[in-house]
Amino acid sequence: MLHDLTHPITDGMMVYPGDPTVGIRPGLTLDRDGVVVERVQMGSHTGTHIDAPAHTILGGRTMADVTLDELVGDALILRVLTAQPNRPYTWDDLVVPGGIPDVVPSIVIIDTGWARYFGQQAALQHPHLDAETAAELWRRGMRLLAVDTLSPDETDATGAPTASFPVHEIVLGGDGLIVENIRGLTDLPARVRIGFFPLNLQGDGAPVRAVAFT
């Protein structure tokens, strides 16, 4: 069975504070042109999307350097059952049957339950991953981190520049990848095969179609 873990891209949808807004307008119409074509304007980090290292790391890989092999594989889903607004979650907050193994799959997904707030003000007040926990997951083998929030780091709802993105620095700085704004994790098992299929944009990131296979 296939499970779509992707937020649809819609006109005026929520974006990370300060990112380009999403505009979807008629480009061609049936009555005038004989076909319907939409004119789409959006940033590379719209909706469910992937961050390449170049997103925050000077000289980092762009999407042109990311292979599909890195984006498809067995994943471990870690649950945060006590997520709180604007608060970090740590190693002890991550729940998985049998505990977190010494070696984790290259794809690790964190389910905070916050996807239900996407599009609402509460989405900006999401919980965020403790940097030491991110570093330990990296040490155990994680190379792609996926989250159901706007960012694994804290989001400044005012849109003001943020001094640092510690989790981005750990993952993207290690030449890994981050996927943000996934949804539909509730009914998935802790071990699942996942695919993230990005638009073939050659820059710092791209919207993806996120799919779980069960």
Q: What is the mean pLDDT of residues 172-196?
A: 98
pLDDT in tens, 103-162: 999 999 999 999 999 999 999 999 999 999 999 999 999 999 999 999 999 998 776 665
Q: What is residue 189's predicted lDDT score, i.e. its pLDDT?
A: 98
Nearest in space to 67 (alpha carbons), one of 195, 174, 154, 209:
195
Strands (E) located in 42-166: 49-51, 72-80, 88-89, 94-95, 107-111, 128-129, 144-147
In this predicted structure, the answer to whether residue 76 has a pLDDT above a threshold of 90 is yes
The CATH number of whichever domain residue 134 belongs to comes to: 3.50.30.50
Domain boundaries, position 158: 2-213
In this predicted structure, the answer to whether residue 85 has a pLDDT above a threshold of 80 is yes
- 4-6-10 Cα angle (round to 5): 130
Number of domains in the chain: 1
Give this prediction's pTM.
0.97
pLDDT in tens, 20-52: 999 999 999 999 999 999 999 999 999 999 999
